[in-house]
Amino acid sequence: MSRKLDALVVGAGFGGLHMLHRLKQLGLDVKAVEAGDSVGGTWFWNRYPGARCDFESHDYSYSFDSDLQNEWVWSERYPSQPEILRYLNHVADRFDLRSSIQLQTRVTAARYDEELAQWSVTTEGNETFIARYLIMATGALSLPQIPAFPGIDTFSGSWYHTANWPTSKVDFTGKRVAVVGTGSSGVQVVSQIAPDAEHLFVMQRTAAFVVPAHNRPLDAERDALVKASYDGFRQRALDSFLGLHFDTELNPAVDTPEPERTAAYERRWEIGGAALLAAFPDLLTNTDSNDTLATFLRAKIEEIVDDPATAKTLTPQGFPVGAKRLIVDSEYYSTFNRSNVDVVDISTSPIRRITETGIETADGHYEVDVIVFATGFDALTGPLLNIDITGKSQTQLKDRWAAGPTTYLGLSVSDFPNMFVVAGPGSPSVLSNVVRCTELNVEWIAQFIEHMSDNGITAAEASPEAENQWVHHVNELSTATIFPTANSWYLGANIPGKPRVFMPYAGGIPAYRQTCSDVASSGYTGFQLTH
């Protein structure tokens, strides 16, 4: 049996919940389906110890409803995973969304019927939904990747991936533990496990730049200050490249005299968070400038880590700061001063296999009871290509994207009419405060759908020309930055066989917002509209 709808939203995280709310406001018959047991998306699945957002609470929250943002009180400077999950559950209740959300429902396929101008969407449980509009709010970082290490089935201990963490507490007390991966998730989990574990081996393939968060309870004064002028606060975020509140020096780093430059870095090191990456206007575009920040951060590692050999292993080399996501955590480097923690350099001696009792690398065997894989995600394209999506003329998304993702504005793909993507490849998504990007996308999609319905438009898709131009523009923007110069997940470099294409839009939130707004106000230039 199939259920007929006006719109189907896939995913009930930040993007999906907001999209559902907006389409309900438009009076559409709409449903959201969500694979998890709860709403929350990435914040439902990533419940590993220490999981916390690295953007400040007020920034990492919805702006679309004035009462919501004024009522909600964040408890810490950076929101923890449980608090964000509570917030998203509150949003689901507050806007009466739950009756329109079907949980534990994983979409497996979507097929467009050209004649009827509608999508037929199938789930793992063999349900079918028919909908005119299909909105993919599947998240950029929602398909975990576990490397194919041989022997994992023979391991007699327990193993976990950070992005699929059990709901019950995992007790590390007295256990020998290995954490594989030192990205944002690995770094956060390491400092939490270390105090409990008998011994912790941190298996590092690439050393990461980590800056302190300086998390603390959110003081009432700060909360009141933001709430007193929330509109201005939101506007400043939208006017900034990253969609965040960072203070940037006027002159480029390379033109700033050394003592002044270091003082600027020191100030931001004390402030905490990703502010360091925005310290100077040219850090993301000029490698010489970026080197000055890298040098500053390397010196900090040497200062914090007692053992010089360990400090050396933990010191990132060979890529600019920020080209792989800058990591925010307070106790990571000092954790290596504990006698029960070792960093294992698996770049020089890679993991060969998992054995019954631990991990075998090229230079030894590490006996462990627990393995934590913090090995990341098949980012941006993975969650979409994990669904068998077929558009017009039997075009399959996996074929269309075989050489890398192609979109128009990150929102639409030619030959896939009436399918919209929230925070997809080709949008600023992961290169920005993703909540700002999802809100821009959701509002834009809602307005487009309203326009279509007001004007008798039955189908809309990106034209191949507009899509090509956008892909070209996205590529061009990235080559003017330091981003493509590291083996990062932004480029798909973490997934064997994935095409090496820089996927996000690197032009910043203001330019992206302006372009999307111009497209809308010009009657949706670049879209083929069928009446």
391: which 2 tokens?
A: 């558009």
* Alpha-carbon torsion (136, 138, 140, 143), positive or negative: negative
Based on the shown chain and the rule CB under 6 A, indicate whether residue 185 belongs to the binding site for ligand NAP. yes
Among 142, 184, 406, 433, binds ligand NAP (CB under 6 A): 184
Minimum CB separation of residue 367 from ligand NAP in Å reads: 19
255: which 2 tokens?
A: 């033109």
Produce one character per residue of 403-439: b if its CB has 16 or more CB atoms within 10 Å, e if not: ebbbbbbbbbbbbbbbbbbbbbbbbbbbbbbbbbbbb
Based on the shown chain and the rule CB under 6 A, indicate whether residue 205 belongs to the binding site for ligand NAP. yes
Q: What is the contact mask toward ligand NAP in residues 293 to 332, using x (rule: CB under 6 A)?
A: --------------------------------x--x----
DSSP codes, 46-88: ---TT-B-SS-TTTSS--S-HHHHHH----BSS-BHHHHHHHH
- Distance, in Å, from the CA atom of 361 to the CA atom of 150, rounded to the nearest integer, reads 12
Count of residues touching ligand NAP (by CB under 6 A) = 27
Stretch that binds ligand NAP, among 95-103, 185-193, 272-280, 286-294 (CB under 6 A): 185-193
Return the number of the residue (206 or 256) whose C-beta is nearest ligand NAP: 206
Stretch that binds ligand NAP, among 6-14, 52-60, 88-96, 362-370 (CB under 6 A): 52-60
Among 210, 430, 471, 482, binds ligand NAP (CB under 6 A): 430
- Distance, in Å, from the CA atom of 184 to the CA atom of 200, rounded to the nearest integer, reads 17
- Please report, as residue ranges, which positions from 206 to 245 form the binding site for ligand NAP (by CB under 6 A): 206
Among 45, 420, 489, 524, binds ligand NAP (CB under 6 A): 489
Instruction: Read off φ and ψ for residue 3, nearest 5 degrees.
Output: -105, 125
Based on the shown chain and the rule CB under 6 A, indicate whether residue 433 belongs to the binding site for ligand NAP. no
**359-365-367-370 Cα dihedral, nearest 10 degrees:** -20
Based on the shown chain and the rule CB under 6 A, indicate whether residue 141 belongs to the binding site for ligand NAP. yes
Instruction: Read off φ and ψ for residue 345, nearest 5 degrees.
Output: -80, 100
Minimum CB separation of residue 60 from ligand NAP in Å reads: 8
Among 101, 107, 180, 354, binds ligand NAP (CB under 6 A): 180
| Residues 155 and 180 sit within 8 Å (Cβ to Cβ) | no
Could you tell me which of 182, 177, 477, 495 has the C-alpha nearest to residue 345? 182
- Distance, in Å, from the CA atom of 424 to the CA atom of 309, rounded to the nearest integer, reads 41
Q: What is the contact mask toward ligand NAP in residues 365 to 404, using x (rule: CB under 6 A)?
A: ---------xxxx---------------------------
Residues of the shown chain interacting with ligand NAP in the complex, contacts defined by CB under 6 A? 52-54, 141, 147, 162, 180-186, 188, 205-206, 325, 328, 346, 351, 374-377, 430, 489, 494
